[in-house]
Amino acid sequence: MSGNGKFKKRFNALREYGLNLVALSMLTGLFSGTVVTLYNIVTGIGEEASVKLYGLVKENPVFVPLLFLGLFAGAVVIGTATRLVPMIRGSGVPQTEGAARGLLRFKWYTVMCSMFAASAACVFMGLPAGSEGPSLQIGGCAGDGMGAVFGRPFMVRRLQIAAGASAGLAAAFNAPVTGLAFAMEEAFRSFSAQVFTCSAVSVLVSLSVRNLMRGAMGLSTGFTFTSFEFSAVGAAGCLYVAAAALAAALLGVAFYRLMLLCRRGFAKLTFFKGAGRYIVPFFAAGAFGLVSSYAMGGGHEFVQSLGSLYEGEFERIFGISVAATLAVVVAMRFISTVLAVGCGMPYGIFVPVLATGAGLGALLCAGFKSAGMDPSLSDYIIIITMAAYFTTVVRAPVTGLIMIFEFTGSFQGLLPALLGVGIGFIAGELFRTRSVFETCLDFIVKDGGGQGAGRRRVRLAVEEGSYADGRSIRSVLWPAGGIVEEVAPVGGERFVPDGKTVLHAGDEITFACMAASEEDVKTFLSEIVGGPEGR
């Protein structure tokens, strides 16, 4: 190839997979940030309104039957919506992960509008609903929408789904690094320069839009838990951290097992065309909301109230002690979250999971203090327990570790933070639990007709100027679960490659993955290597 040809090739690659990709990611961040910010403002208003409504019902018990009648109607409506639009069933995280990995496809505008409406309705009705999962899915839909509007290939749309999801999560939490980490650790489960670049650009634009919009409306732009105060953690403090993290990890294992049990049980409830199964979590949430407002909403206010617990205000239940109140709230939140995941409620469990872990940590601190623990460690124990429980349930230790620092604004005590998150992750390994999102994704793929998938193997030639031309194998976004088994270079012998192997035009690759047919694999790979033209 002449020098001019090489320059043209590199320029086209830079334009196609560099400048154009960055520009598209900026639009994804703009779209995602705008919609997610509006969504979080709406759900914030809904959470405040639901607390006032339940307070009114508690003051006037005559309205209790009317409340449960409304919850019954809401359950049927939401259940019907999830039947008509199956991609909003659940928190939205598994579906977005599946789309980013190439396992699922959906109509972005239908899913975005449906999840926005359904999850916001759940918040208005007082369910323990988090907004972060829907925010992530809405952001992913925004990325897919930008790719579709500009006619980009499916591979680029996958990048934009991941970028939009990162931007949506970052905008929901005001935590940019958490959003980036989650994209790498959960969405793709690998590091890629393209994924990082697209996600970083989208997160930057999305957070800028979020802060501008909230500032213009006179709303707070922060999210961190400001009521916590931290001090250095010594050797004795690490022992308390380890004990608390182990307790949180065991609770996380119990959560996973009970979630699977609930899913099997709910599958047997088929009345109202399957919508009837939503009545159970709706009624449970209604009963819990009448007991305490801490059992409602995502749980941000509950976690915030735990900072310096015995010095600030804390809403006790029926005049019982703080420790007993914490035990009741943790139990209610644990049960409601298990029911939500098992049933497939269209709202997020990210913050509800964190709130359960934080409540458990506060409860443990009451016992640790009687055993001689320095009270100044209480706030730190609560945050570590929250991250350890999250890590066991979601199986994302890096994201859990980063959240500690971004949510609290404190970088003290890195060693005990690593200890707590590490214990949560190891416990999941020992008890063979999986990420709740991964498990739900498997169910979604199976329910969507993935039963016919089998191991497929195809051979294709890398075309000049294609996305794979000149890239290492590990930097290419292959179909999920796929592997390049062999490479046959031009004029050379076949060999088994590794992630560092660079592909060149003319190389023939043997690729294997789970798919319904070889044609599906070839169609997908044609966007990466340039076309199914094996020699």
Q: Which two tokens stand for residue 297?
A: 């909403």
Q: Are 456 and 521 in contact (CB under 8 A)?
A: yes
Topology given in CATH for the domain delimited by 235-444: Clc chloride channel (1.10.3080)
The residue to which tokens 């579709």 are assigned: 148
* Sequential DSSP letters for 295-335: GSSSSHHHHHHHTTTTTS----STT--HHHHHHHHHHHHHH
* Strand, coil or helix: 151: coil
CATH number of the structural domain 10-216: 1.10.3080.10
Q: Model-level pTM?
A: 0.86
483-525: pLDDT as tens digits: 888 999 988 888 899 888 999 888 999 988 766 667 777 777 8
Give the integer Cα–Cα distance in Å for 363 and 354. Answer: 14
Give the integer Cα–Cα distance in Å for 516 and 496. Answer: 25
Length of the chain equals 535
Please report, in angstroms and rounded to a whole number, the separation of the first and last CA atoms in the chain: 21
Q: For the chain, what are the domain ranges?
A: 10-216, 235-444, 454-529
Domains 10-216 and 235-444 fall in the same CATH topology: yes
Instruction: Count Cα atoms within 13 angstroms, Cβ side, for 298.
Output: 28
Q: Are 121 and 78 in contact (CB under 8 A)?
A: yes
Beta bridge partners of 307: none
Give the integer Cα–Cα distance in Å for 329 and 269. Answer: 28
Residue 311: how many CB atoms within 10 A of its CB?
10
One-letter amino acid for residue 313 of the chain: E
Q: Are 171 and 159 in contact (CB under 8 A)?
A: no
Q: Are 411 and 450 in contact (CB under 8 A)?
A: no
> What is the rounded radius of gyration, in angstroms, for the C-alpha atoms of the chain?
24
For residues 210-230, give the mean pLDDT. 80
532 pLDDT exceeds 50? Answer: no
pLDDT of residue 55: 93
One-letter amino acid for residue 197 of the chain: T
Q: CA triplet 122, 220, 212: central angle to 5 degrees? A: 100
Sign for the pseudo-dihedral over CA of 138, 254, 285, 279: positive
If 0-12 CB within 10 Å is exposed, 13-18 middle and 19+ buried, where does residue 172 land?
Answer: buried
The pair phi, psi for residue 533, each rounded to 5°, is -125, 70
Torsion, Cα of 220, 222, 228, 233 (10° steps): -170
Give the integer Cα–Cα distance in Å for 478 and 338. Answer: 34
Q: Are 460 and 490 in contact (CB under 8 A)?
A: no
* Sequential DSSP letters for 67-90: HHHHHHHHHHHHHHHHHHSGGGSS
| Pure H helices in 15-63 | 20-59
79-130: pLDDT as tens digits: 999 999 999 988 888 888 888 877 788 899 999 999 999 999 999 999 998 8
Topology given in CATH for the domain delimited by 454-529: Alpha-Beta Plaits (3.30.70)
Give the integer Cα–Cα distance in Å for 377 and 454. Answer: 53
pLDDT of residue 448: 61
20-70: pLDDT as tens digits: 888 999 999 999 999 999 999 999 999 999 999 999 999 999 999 999 999
Q: Which two tokens stand for residue 171?
A: 């905008």
Give the integer Cα–Cα distance in Å for 141 and 164. Answer: 7
Residue 147 confidence class, pLDDT cut points 50, 70, 90: very high
Q: CA triplet 260, 264, 267: central angle to 5 degrees? A: 135
214 pLDDT exceeds 60? Answer: yes
pLDDT of residue 535: 36
